Amino acid sequence: MLPLYLSIEGLYSYRNKQEIDFTRLTEAGLFGIFGKVGSGKSSIIEAISFVLYGETERLNKQEKRAYNMLNLRSDVANIVFEFLNYEGRKFRFTAQWKRRKKFEDTTSLERYAYEWKDGAWIPLDSNDGTLVTQLTYPNFRRTIIIPQGQFKEFLELRGKDRSEMMKDIFNLDRFDLGPKVAILQRQNNSKLEQLNGALSGFDAVSLEILDSKQQELETAKRHLASVKEETALLEKEVSRLMESKKKRDELVQKKEDVQEYLLEQPRIIQLEKELRTYEITQSAFREILNTTHNLNKEKEQLTHKIEQLTVRKSEVLNRLEKEETEWEKIAPAYQQLDFFKAESEDLKVLIDILQNKTQQEKLSKRLQDGKPYLLQAQDEEKKLLASIESEEKRLDELKNTRVDTSVLLTLESWYQTDDNIGSAIVELKAQRQQLQNELIQTTKIFEEQSTSIDDWESVLLQQETKLNAELTSLQREETHLKVQAKLSEFAGSLAEGQPCPLCGALDHPNPMANHDMATKIQDVMDKQIEVKQHQQQLKASYQALTATSIRWRDKKTQLTQSETNVQNMEEKLKIHREQFRWEEFSPTDKTAFLAYKDKNYLAETHIKSGEANLKNLRVQWQTCQLKIEKYKNSLAEFEQSVTVLDQLNRQNIRQIKRLKPTDFEHVDETGLLNKKQETEKKITFLEDSHKRLSESIQSLRTEFAHINGERAASKERFQQLYQQLNSKQAEISTLLKEHGYSDIIQVQHILQKNMDVDSSRKTIQEFNLNLQVLLRNIAELEKSVALDAYGESIYQEKTTLYALKREELELQIRVTGALEKEHARLRVEFEKKEKLLEEYEKLALRKSNLTTLENLFRGSGFVNYVSSIHLQRLCEIANQRFHRLTKNNLSLTMNENNEFEVVDFLHNGFKRSVKTLSGGQAFQASLCLALALAESIQSMNKADKNFFFIDEGFGTQDPESMNTVFETLQYLNRDNRIVGIISHVEELKERIPRAITVVNDIEKGSQLTYH
């Protein structure tokens, strides 16, 4: 992570907004933030942690964190932090909260996160800094920004906690495959159990059963083919006989149909006659009769309409006269409408004047009541200023009596060094004595073996040579005896006339005889075992004496080194005591120094108490100032409001047009409101009535004219219809005479039948066509049946035989189908069984492999192993700097519990706990480990640059160690490391290329200045 920008407002001592451009600081690679105690230095890194994670070291959520972090003279806190993460992506995190009306209540914390993309800040879904930095809050404060009191936390963590941290930072959980292996095992075992259950259902499936079912199926198929052939022949014969029978039945049916048609023929002839009469009459009379009917209907409707229009005309005329009468009644009052509106406006102004006078009286009373409070607060402010001045004088006097801190620190450092050297000499002498005792004990071991430290190897070598020669002789003797024993076996198996298995001779005059050969061989083998046991004992003695010899040489070397170390430390103590230059103190008696130190502590205690008291008085004075300012503002607002109300009343009086204010001096606000409401109701009534009557009269006049015109048009149409009806009556009389009808009733009787001409004509045509077709079909069927050889008995016999054969075929088909299904089922089941067996073998092999993996990953052993590798690597990287800082006197290492230990080369390389380190040494070790951890994270994230912030530690270093630490930090810039230092030691400013000074101003709060 590389910081770019930070702004703080309203946080702790930061009252006003302060901004830090980190790009100006990080260019140098090493920068500092300096200021006195309580100036607000640590608040900078606390703001960064809080805006990224919503967490802080000083306070937790249960401690009213938002209220306590908010500046007491601020109403809002705001933090903005911009930075580049390990991927080079630019982010902005913000945090804000405000004070509510009640001083100790605050709003909830609002945190937001953005990323710079395409020239704009794009909001992120989550405000968790872990997702951006890839570090949790605890690991962030251990590796990037380390607050006060936490610098040695990583160094002194317990093994388990440190391993968990390594898992988190380096994502070592990906190596914890134990749970995954367990899941795979459960899944694999479940599948094996399922396969066992599935295979138990295939016990009745085998290759022999499948072959037997195949033979049954082939026999059934051959029989089915034979039955199918016989059935097909019978089916063909039965089909021919059924066709002949069908033709005979059809001939009988068609003859019956012809008889029915002949009975229907007279009705069809009558229908044809009526249809001709209906068509002629309809053609001549239908149209003229319809026209006459329509004209009569329209005449009746028109008569009814004229009657309705006459009634409506009378009604509209009456309504119009009534509306005009009502209009004449309101006309005089409507002409005075403007007067009534002006009167309403004047009443509104009078009401405003009365309300303003009431408000003036209230404000005047509050003005008089508030002045004593202002005077009381001003008196309190004077008393507080006097107390502050007195306390400042007393505090200055105390500071003038404060002892010289630099002398105190230098003396304390000298005494501490003297004690350390003295303790080291005691430890070295004790170590030397222990080594001497151990050498004596080692020498006794050689004496017990009847040898010495110088010639023990040659003695053991001679013994070993002797035993090897003895063993070789016994092995040769054993071989000779075994050959003799084998020859004796051959000699014992010889027979006369049979060839010898060795030489082939047929004659065996003097065969070999050897007795007790097995006993001799066993004696030789027992001697060999005894010799080998002596060799093993000699080998064990050699190994033991070798280890003892090496240990003796090591102890001898350590003893020499120890004696040298004692001399060096005694010389160092002598030089150190020669450097004591304080005459008023004793190098061997610390009593005067401790009294001097107590005096300084007492003075510092009084100064801190005075500063706290002064701070409290200033807070009270600031609170009093705010109270006075509040009273002054309120009283000024009251006076201004009274003046404004008086001016408004004068302006309102000038706006009155119709009424006289003197007429309403004794009327209260309620009376004026009632008068105004009555006037407004009268105005509303006149405007609504005028509008309604005007619209109604205009509408009625328009409606009357429309009705009058429509009535005249209806009368004219009525005369036209009357003439048209007379003309049509004359035409009907002429047609009756022409077609021979006596009156119109005969014509209407014919037309009332409403015959469907098309349907009737179609019925007649279909009847004649069907009759002709039937007669033709009967002739064709009689000709066809005369030639076939059909007999009813033959038909019945063949039909019965075919039905039986059909049943036999269906039965055989079912039998064959069942055999096919069973064979197919067995074949599928057999294939399933083979696949299940194959799968079972794979799962069994997988189970074996998973068991091996389970043993490997049990109890997070592999993860802990990887974690220990990372920790060892951290030690190697850290030691590159730690050796230089400690002048190769100390080194960091890991024990079997993954806990840090120190290898002390001044004490023969013995290991000891890191908790035994001095404050300065612990700072050096923590610094080297933190830098190593930051480098590992940078390497893992492939970041170009990384940032590291230190908020303590330099006060524990002597000048020489300080030089070494600063050289180490300055070299970091070459490795793209940027280090920020927070300290109250002002002397460090000259050694830091870029810096910021923080000053806590009483009025403005913490202020930042660049150097």
Amino acid at 271: L
Give the phi and the psi of residue 829 in degrees, each rounded to 5. Answer: -60, -40
Give the pLDDT of residue 76. Answer: 93
Structure tokens that stand for 243 in this block: 């066709």
Do 9 and 16 form a contact (C-beta atoms < 8 A)? yes
* Rounded distance between C-alpha atoms, residue 1001 and residue 682, angstroms: 71
CA distances from 341 to 348, 582, 653, 682, 925 (A): 11, 105, 17, 10, 94
* Rounded distance between C-alpha atoms, residue 173 and residue 166, angstroms: 10
Do 4 and 80 form a contact (C-beta atoms < 8 A)? no
Residue range 794-810: average pLDDT? 79
CA distances from 453 to 105, 439, 457 (A): 84, 11, 9
**Residue 506: pLDDT over 70:** no
User: 671-685, 895-909, 938-952: which range is least confident on average?
Assistant: 938-952
Nearest to 774 by CA among 265, 39, 24, 307: 265
| DSSP H or E stretch at residue 482 | helix 456-492
Give the pLDDT of residue 95. Answer: 95
| DSSP H or E stretch at residue 115 | strand 110-117
Lookup result for tokens 């002002």: 986
Do 244 and 785 form a contact (C-beta atoms < 8 A)? yes
Give the phi and the psi of residue 105 in degrees, each rounded to 5. Answer: -100, 140
Q: Is 709 exposed, middle or buried (0-12, 13-18, 19+ CB in 10 A)?
A: exposed
Give the pLDDT of residue 954. Answer: 63
**Would you give the distance in Å from CA 475 to the centre of its chain?**
79
* Rounded distance between C-alpha atoms, residue 684 and residue 678, angstroms: 10
Give the model's confidence band at 117: pLDDT under 50 very low, under 70 low, under 90 confident, else very high.
very high
Would you tell me the crossing angle of helices 959-971 and 919-941 to the nearest 10 degrees? 0
Strands (E), 188-304: none
* Rounded distance between C-alpha atoms, residue 901 and residue 918, angstroms: 14
pLDDT in tens, 720-742: 877 877 787 777 777 777 777 77
Give the pLDDT of residue 1007. Answer: 93
Nearest to 978 by CA among 954, 1004, 941, 943: 943
Lookup result for tokens 């004088």: 393
Give the pLDDT of residue 138. Answer: 77
pLDDT in tens, 466-476: 887 887 788 77
User: 286-290, 574-578, 618-622: which range is least confident on average?
Assistant: 286-290
Report the percent of the chain where pLDDT is more than 70. Answer: 86
* Rounded distance between C-alpha atoms, residue 214 and residue 224, angstroms: 15
Residue range 433-443: average pLDDT? 83
Contacts 24+ apart (CB under 8 A), 181-187: 181/850, 181/853, 181/854, 181/857, 182/854, 184/850, 185/847, 185/850, 185/851, 185/854
Do 528 and 482 form a contact (C-beta atoms < 8 A)? no
**Residue 1001: pLDDT over 80:** yes
* Rounded distance between C-alpha atoms, residue 980 and residue 146, angstroms: 10
* Rounded distance between C-alpha atoms, residue 596 and residue 603, angstroms: 11
Give the single-character DSSP code of 99: B
3-state SS class at 1010: strand
Residue range 55-59: average pLDDT? 81
Give the pLDDT of residue 11. Answer: 92
Residue of 501 and 960 predicted with greater confidence: 960
What dihedral do alpha carbons 601, 606, 608, 610 form, nearest 10°?
-170
pLDDT in tens, 192-220: 777 777 766 676 677 777 777 788 878 88
Residue range 284-304: average pLDDT? 80
* Rounded distance between C-alpha atoms, residue 777 and residue 258, angstroms: 11
3-state SS class at 362: helix
* Rounded distance between C-alpha atoms, residue 853 and residue 866, angstroms: 16
Do 144 and 949 form a contact (C-beta atoms < 8 A)? yes
Give the phi and the psi of residue 108 in degrees, each rounded to 5. Answer: -70, 150
pLDDT in tens, 547-576: 777 777 777 888 888 888 888 888 888 888
**Residue 7: pLDDT over 90:** yes
Residue range 325-351: average pLDDT? 79
Give the model's confidence band at 78: pLDDT under 50 very low, under 70 low, under 90 confident, else very high.
very high
Do 886 and 872 form a contact (C-beta atoms < 8 A)? no
Nearest to 331 by CA among 689, 629, 16, 585: 689
Give the pLDDT of residue 965. Answer: 64
Structure tokens that stand for 456 in this block: 């023990």
* Rounded distance between C-alpha atoms, residue 866 and residue 877, angstroms: 17
Q: For all residues of the chain together, what is the average pLDDT?
A: 79
Do 79 and 96 form a contact (C-beta atoms < 8 A)? yes
**Residue 151: pLDDT over 60:** no
Radius of gyration (C-alpha) of the chain in whole angstroms: 63
Give the model's confidence band at 346: pLDDT under 50 very low, under 70 low, under 90 confident, else very high.
confident
How many of the other CB atoms lie within 10 Å of CB of 982? Answer: 24
How many of the other CB atoms lie within 10 Å of CB of 8? Answer: 29
Give the pLDDT of residue 441. Answer: 83
Buried/exposed code over 528-560 (b: 16+ C-beta within 10 A; e: otherwise): beebeebbeebeeebeebeebbeebeebeebbe
Structure tokens that stand for 511 in this block: 């065969």
Give the model's confidence band at 508: pLDDT under 50 very low, under 70 low, under 90 confident, else very high.
low
* Rounded distance between C-alpha atoms, residue 569 and residue 906, angstroms: 10
* Rounded distance between C-alpha atoms, residue 32 and residue 25, angstroms: 8
Structure tokens that stand for 784 in this block: 């066809």
**Residue 994: pLDDT over 70:** yes
**Residue 986: pLDDT over 70:** no
Give the pLDDT of residue 115. Answer: 94
Give the single-character DSSP code of 56: -
**Residue 386: pLDDT over 70:** yes
Work out whether the CA dihedral 910, 914, 917, 923 comes out positive or negative: positive
**Residue 941: pLDDT over 70:** no
Residue of 15 and 369 predicted with greater confidence: 15
pLDDT in tens, 692-702: 888 888 888 88
Strands 900-904 and 910-913: antiparallel
**Residue 793: pLDDT over 70:** yes
